[in-house]
């Protein structure tokens, strides 16, 4: 059995893959898209993908990729995430001028980062990849937010551990496999339903009443914007399939985007998404945010 995950060795997705299948061979992939491709091509038996975090919120890209690829959710698991600040041996915290990590990790450590005025925060593709970057380039005065496992893999020093904003920092991962005849990861006691609705008053209420009248509890409702004419929109419009193995939920894409393609003014943004936005924009923090080259 081969399990694909996004990131370098030492990534939290690697820990989730090991939790899911302790004896499996693991396949690191550069991107979420590569995880889907590896499973579709048969290079990997399963793919393990983060889908939501108790602090940073939803990983929307993976929801969209589920619609774009013919894979089925066959299981899920939760992993407690403990972030550490790691750097080259001999580095002290007061010497740190730049901190690298994935945007989700930056969002989850927002309060800690704001306590370090003047430190530049750089968004990268992966937490463990940030550790690898520091090791490969021998970046003095730089640190990464990553796991202690990443520190061990890349021979870095843990400067401080448990720096996430909340101790109860949980990420939920989905396990995906081929849609037809693929292996099952867990008992089929959860369901994901994907559907689209017309942009009219009461459409969502009527759709959700189907669940309420039958005593079905929805644990999550996720709405994604409708961009007219896109491949993803067409996939959503054609999709009425049920994926077994994930948490029961309804999702609607009934809102149409304005002609400019931008989000409508006044659309509410959750507190979790606000944290993620701050990690990109640096609002309310002395540190400046930029993307890694």
Residues labelled as active-site residues: 171, 173
DSSP string, 53-68: ETTTEE-HHHHHHHHH
Sign of the C-alpha dihedral, residues 130, 132, 137, 138?
positive
Q: Confirm if 167 and 101 have CB atoms less than 8 A apart.
A: no
Contacts of 284 (CB under 8 A, 6+ apart): 114, 278
> Which tokens go with 53?
């975090």
> Which tokens go with 288?
């400046």
Q: Closest Cα partner for 191 from 170, 209, 211?
A: 211
Q: H or E segment at 208? A: helix 203-212
Q: Closest Cα partner for 146 from 114, 108, 92?
A: 108
């Amino acid at each position: 059995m081969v399990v694909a995950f996004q990131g370098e060795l030492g990534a939290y997705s690697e820990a989730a893959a090991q939790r899911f299948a302790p004896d499996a061979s693991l396949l690191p992939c550069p991107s979420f898209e590569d995880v889907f491709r590896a499973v579709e091509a048969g290079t990997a038996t399963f793919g393990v993908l983060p889908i939501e975090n108790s602090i940073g919120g939803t990983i929307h890209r993976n929801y969209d990729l589920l619609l774009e690829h013919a894979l089925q959710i066959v299981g899920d698991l939760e992993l407690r995430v403990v972030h550490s600040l790691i750097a080259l041996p001999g580095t002290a915290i007061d010497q740190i001028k730049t901190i690298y990590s994935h945007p989700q990790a930056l969002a989850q450590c927002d309060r800690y980062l704001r306590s370090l005025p003047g430190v530049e925060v750089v968004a990268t593709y992966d937490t463990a990849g940030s550790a690898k970057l520091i090791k490969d380039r021998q970046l003095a005065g730089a640190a990464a937010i990553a796991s202690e496992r990443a520190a061990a893999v890349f021979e870095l020093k843990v400067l401080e551990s448990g720096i996430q904003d909340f101790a109860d920092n949980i990420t939920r991962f989905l396990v995906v496999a081929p849609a037809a005849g693929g292996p099952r990861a867990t008992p089929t006691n959860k369901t994901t339903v994907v559907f689209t609705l017309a942009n009219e008053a009461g459409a969502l209420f009527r759709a959700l009443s189907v669940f309420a009248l039958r005593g079905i509890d929805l644990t999550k409702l996720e709405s994604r914007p409708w961009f007219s004419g896109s491949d993803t929109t067409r996939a959503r419009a054609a999709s009425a399939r049920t994926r077994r193995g994930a948490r029961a939920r309804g999702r609607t894409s009934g809102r149409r985007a304005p002609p400019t393609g931008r989000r409508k003014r006044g659309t509410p943004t959750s507190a979790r998404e606000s944290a993620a936005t701050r990690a990109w924009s640096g609002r309310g923090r002395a540190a400046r945010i930029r993307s890694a080259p």
